């Protein structure tokens, strides 16, 4: 019975095979038609790239979901803008030593923005004491404002977290956090800029 099922497998039928080859040719043709634009867009820093983020006031008030220009700078520009340690962490995915950052033990009410581009990232309302020596949150302030990717740099798969607007490396997210999400966003203080509700950075 299984044999007859296999024989009816559409992938092994000559007619189906011809159709697939034809479909593949069509896809290649469509790709060839589209690719000049795609390559052009990927090539240029001059090309305006946009991302969707949610804007927040320094008081933590959600303002609006907007399309904003992506912040794209050269290595040299970032190096000039940022202190050396911050540059290595945000632009080269380095990690600060535990218990050495500015914010692991900060419990004030306020907003954490991206040190590179000011994008709102975390609120003190989701910060918790993880005991790790890094500032830890159970959720970002808006899912649109952070980007997650797989990081295999230590030989195990981890989920890296970066800023949607400028690609700054922020830290990693793990699934051993507290309720309600069960997530632990383990961030580098160096990637963040804490802003009190009145808008005064510390
Ligand atoms: Zn940023």
Strands 120-123 and 127-128: unpaired
Residue 106 near residue 137, CB atoms below 8 Å: no
Mean pLDDT value across the chain = 83
Q: How much is the average pLDDT of 16-26?
A: 42
Say how many Å lie between the CA of residue 180 and the centre of ligand 1. 26
Give the closest residue to 159 by CA, choosing from 142, 141, 180, 177. 177
Classify burial at 9, counting beta carbons within 10 Å of its beta carbon; exposed 0-12, middle 13-18, buried 19 or more.
exposed
State the DSSP code for 97: P
Q: pLDDT tens for residues 157-180?
A: 999 999 999 999 999 999 999 999
Say how many Å lie between the CA of residue 177 and the centre of ligand 1. 24
Compute, in degrees rounded to 10, the torsion defined by CA atoms 41, 43, 45, 48: 0
Say how many Å lie between the CA of residue 53 and the centre of ligand 1. 11
Does 186 qualify as catalytic in the annotation? yes
Q: 3-state DSSP call for residue 190?
A: helix
Give the closest residue to 61 by CA, choosing from 201, 202, 195. 195
Instruction: Kindly tell me if the per-residue pLDDT of 121 is higher than 90.
Output: yes
Instruction: Kindly tell me if the per-residue pLDDT of 200 is higher than 60.
Output: no
pLDDT at 201: 59
């Amino acid at each position: 019975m299984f044999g007859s099922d296999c024989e009816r497998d559409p992938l092994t039928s000559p007619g189906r095979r011809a159709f697939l080859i034809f479909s593949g040719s069509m896809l290649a043709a469509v790709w060839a038609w589209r690719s000049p634009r795609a390559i052009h867009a990927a090539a240029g820093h001059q090309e305006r790239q946009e991302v969707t983020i949610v804007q927040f006031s320094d008081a933590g008030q959600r303002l609006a979901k907007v399309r904003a220009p992506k912040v794209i700078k050269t290595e040299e520009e970032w190096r000039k803008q940022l202190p050396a340690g911050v540059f290595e962490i945000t632009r080269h995915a380095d990690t600060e030593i535990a218990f050495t950052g500015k914010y692991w033990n900060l419990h004030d009410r306020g907003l954490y923005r991206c040190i590179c581009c000011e994008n709102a990232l975390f609120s003190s309302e989701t910060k918790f004491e993880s005991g790790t020596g890094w500032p830890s949150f159970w959720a970002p302030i808006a899912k649109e404002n952070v980007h997650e990717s797989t990081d295999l740099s230590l030989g195990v798969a981890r989920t890296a977290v970066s800023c949607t607007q400028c690609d700054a490396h922020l830290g990693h997210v793990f699934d051993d956090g507290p309720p309600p999400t069960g997530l632990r966003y383990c961030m580098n203080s160096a990637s963040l800029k804490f802003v009190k509700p009145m808008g005064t950075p510390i």
